[in-house]
Amino acid sequence: MQYATVRSDGVTTAAVRDGDGPWQRLDASDLSEWLLRGSVAAEPTDALAAPQLLLLLPLPSPGKVICCGLNYGDHIVEMGRALPTHPTLFAKFGDTLTGPDAVLEVPPGTLVDWEAELAVVVGQELRSASEADAEDAIAGYTIANDISLRDWQNRTNEWLQGKAWDRTTPLGPVLVTPDEIDVNAGVDVICRVNGEVVQRGNTATLVFGPAALLAYISTFTTLRPGDIVLTGTPGGVGAGRTPPQFLRDGDVVETEVPGIGTLRNAIRFTSDVLTTT
Amino acid sequence: MQYATVRSDGVTTAAVRDGDGPWQRLDASDLSEWLLRGSVAAEPTDALAAPQLLLLLPLPSPGKVICCGLNYGDHIVEMGRALPTHPTLFAKFGDTLTGPDAVLEVPPGTLVDWEAELAVVVGQELRSASEADAEDAIAGYTIANDISLRDWQNRTNEWLQGKAWDRTTPLGPVLVTPDEIDVNAGVDVICRVNGEVVQRGNTATLVFGPAALLAYISTFTTLRPGDIVLTGTPGGVGAGRTPPQFLRDGDVVETEVPGIGTLRNAIRFTSDVLTTT
């Protein structure tokens, strides 16, 4: 099954579809509300008119957005580093997220980089969970691009200020249930910039898989339905290239996970996003 | 004025008092709701019976909790380090917070440290704000102790997992309005462990003062009423001692800012807080 937050005939609603079937309305205004309210197995109410349907940011109000860095084993090994014994974790905010087709507005002159990622969506409350319980609590998977302002990220040791610019992390376009894709066996995570493939990783090489990440995080904080965990990015980011390559005004970033879909986001440099320093 | 979330006669409510006067009920169930709803200047409704009154976590549902590290100039200089050019920022969650008298439960064997801090509470929405606008948007000040699990904090470069254990950051006991204390001129920030003073700093030596922090953060993300910014801790943390000193089961941590009040929190080691790894 696929779940989404859609806009159809002027109304925003949570929706569900089976395979390529028609989207059907769910009784919630968005997927955050739908997941918080209970089951992903409840009955849809009525069919939506497909032609006018827009896919929006599926989870507009997550309680927590937690991200893992340095998690693709092949990339870590190729960089000559040891595999980590613990996941590197940092937070974003609900405000950081934006829709699957959104234009990403950043201040001119900043060093904007791409990070294609698989995102895990929590379906049940978890605290001090085992990996098996965490696996059972996964509502589904979606796609994110952890767009990073490298100059801000590297101003200090803590990455937050380069990772949490409002409306710069596209998410979506849909959430697919765990029966739809086999993340542990491996799904590709692909990033293209202006049509050129810049990242192509596979989740089979994740050091900490989705269930391991959820279990680990649940040791220190409660995860609840609608919370989102970004699983890290494979090799090929712009900052790792020789010479480094960053995104320019008008560049188009596509982030794809086969079986889920594709995010397509243009970069816009604008001084409307002012900096005070 | 002082604002708080109190429990009186079985009811939890936002409340206000003038100086040492009686607490009066405000028309909101807590201070997070009160601030989000609008003004801190609205009229109180009725007086509360003081004898039964308990001061609770004043802000139970902040949208954002953002913390600054390495911000006390005297401590940085005494450690032989250069003053930072940008604030080091990381996040906590609403779940990380707990009440001014709460017992702090942590897993046995973890390296638990104290960090007394002044906390700033946002009163108006801020984005790309100037320092002057940020200053005007401060609803008030309260106290926090950024209790840190140093072993978890140092597992990776990103501090989140050592800083965001559920219900380990006490906050309160009240919010005082900016006219009550002069943070820029300097207020003391004091930590005692079992009655012994372990930290005594003064906000006059903050590298980034409250308004500067709010303005800086507002460059990348929107701050809203009820959001909380922790301003960093002065010298004297346990990890910085020779030999290092950490908190033990039953220790009592007191965190005081004269003009605001005192947090009083016992440490409890318990395997009810399980670790999966």
Residues B50 and B73 in one domain: no
Residues A97 and A196 in one domain: yes
Distance of CA B56 to the CA centre of its chain: 13
Residue that is last in its domain, among B55, B82, B97: B55
Rounded-to-integer distance, Cα A256 and Cα A262, Å: 4
Q: What is the maximal distance between C-alpha atoms in chain B?
A: 54
DSSP assignments along A111-146, one per residue: -EE--EEEEEEE-S-BSS--HHHHHHTEEEEEEEE-
More confident site: B230 or B38: B230
Residues B30 and B69 in one domain: no
**Is A274 inside any structural domain?**
no
Shortest Cα distance, chain B CAs vs residue A200, angstroms: 26
- B219: which chain A residues are within 8 Å (Cβ-Cβ)? 274-277
Question: If you average pLDDT over residues B90-108, what whole number do you get?
Answer: 98
Put simply, the answer to whether B165 touches A131 (Cβ < 8 Å) is no
| Radius of gyration (C-alpha) of chain A in whole angstroms | 18
- Give the pLDDT score at A141: 98
Put simply, the answer to whether A96 touches B152 (Cβ < 8 Å) is no
B205 Rama class: left (phi>0) / alpha (psi -120 to 50) / beta: alpha
Rounded-to-integer distance, Cα A274 and Cα B220, Å: 9
- Give the pLDDT score at A39: 61
Residues B44 and B144 in one domain: no
Strand partners, A196: A193
Range of the structural domain that residue A231 is part of: 65-269
pLDDT in tens, B205-255: 999 999 999 999 999 999 999 999 999 999 999 999 999 999 999 999 999
- Quick one: which of B86, B239, B160, B110 has its CA closest to A152? B86
Put simply, the answer to whether B156 touches A91 (Cβ < 8 Å) is no
Put simply, the answer to whether B90 touches A90 (Cβ < 8 Å) is yes
The DSSP call for residue B9 is T
Put simply, the answer to whether B275 touches A89 (Cβ < 8 Å) is no
Residues A34 and A142 in one domain: no
Put simply, the answer to whether A160 touches B87 (Cβ < 8 Å) is no
Q: Which residues contact B14 (CB under 8 A, 6 or more apart)?
A: B3, B4, B5, B6, B25, B26, B27, B28, B29, B30, B31, B33, B34
Rounded-to-integer distance, Cα A226 and Cα A32, Å: 5
Contact A247, A238 (CB under 8 A): yes
Residues A105 and A179 in one domain: yes
Residue B116 φ then ψ, to 5°: -65, 135
Residue B105 has pLDDT above 90, yes or no: yes
Q: Give the nearest partner residue to B164 out of A69, A216, A220, using CB atoms.
A: A220
The CA dihedral of A211, A213, A215, A217, to the nearest 10 degrees, is: -150
Residues B98 and B210 in one domain: yes
Residues A76 and A51 in one domain: no
The DSSP call for residue B243 is S
**Is B51 inside any structural domain?**
yes
- Give the pLDDT score at B50: 67
State the CATH number of the domain containing residue A131. Answer: 3.90.850.10
Rounded-to-integer distance, Cα A172 and Cα A175, Å: 7
Contact A49, A6 (CB under 8 A): no
Residues B113 and B47 in one domain: no
Q: Which residues contact B181 (CB under 8 A, 6 or more apart)?
A: B141, B187, B257, B259, B260
pLDDT in tens, B59-68: 999 999 999 9
**Is A275 inside any structural domain?**
no
**Is B277 inside any structural domain?**
no
Q: What is the ipTM of this complex?
A: 0.96
Q: What's the mean pLDDT when you consider all of chain B?
A: 94
**Is A181 inside any structural domain?**
yes
What token pair was written down for B207?
């590298």
Q: Which one of B169, B220, B273 would you mutate to disrupt binding with A, by most A Cβ within 10 Å of its Cβ?
A: B220
Residues B50 and B105 in one domain: no
**Is B60 inside any structural domain?**
no
Residue B277 has pLDDT above 50, yes or no: no
Q: Which one of A131, A160, A169, A216 would you mutate to disrupt binding with B, by most B Cβ within 10 Å of its Cβ?
A: A160
Residues A211 and A165 in one domain: yes
Q: Give the nearest partner residue to A158 out of B89, B220, B273, using CB atoms.
A: B89
- The position carrying tokens 């997220």 is A97
Q: Are strands A138-145 and B46-47 parallel, antiparallel or unpaired?
A: unpaired
More confident site: B46 or A141: A141
- Provide the pLDDT confidence category of residue B39 given band limits of 50, 70 and 90: low
Put simply, the answer to whether B69 touches A158 (Cβ < 8 Å) is yes
Q: Which residues contact B51 (CB under 8 A, 6 or more apart)?
A: none
Residue A76 φ then ψ, to 5°: -65, -45
Q: Say how many domains are in chain A.
A: 2
- Give the pLDDT score at B98: 98
Residue that is last in its domain, among A34, A55, A76: A55
Residues B91 and B39 in one domain: no
**Is B119 inside any structural domain?**
yes
**Is A168 inside any structural domain?**
yes
Give me the average pLDDT of each 10-residue run along chain A (277 residues).
94 93 93 87 71 92 97 82 94 98 97 98 97 98 98 97 98 98 97 98 97 98 98 95 96 98 98 62
- A63: which chain B residues are within 8 Å (Cβ-Cβ)? 93
Residue that is last in its domain, among B11, B31, B55: B55
pLDDT in tens, B49-95: 766 799 999 999 999 999 999 999 877 877 778 899 999 999 999 99
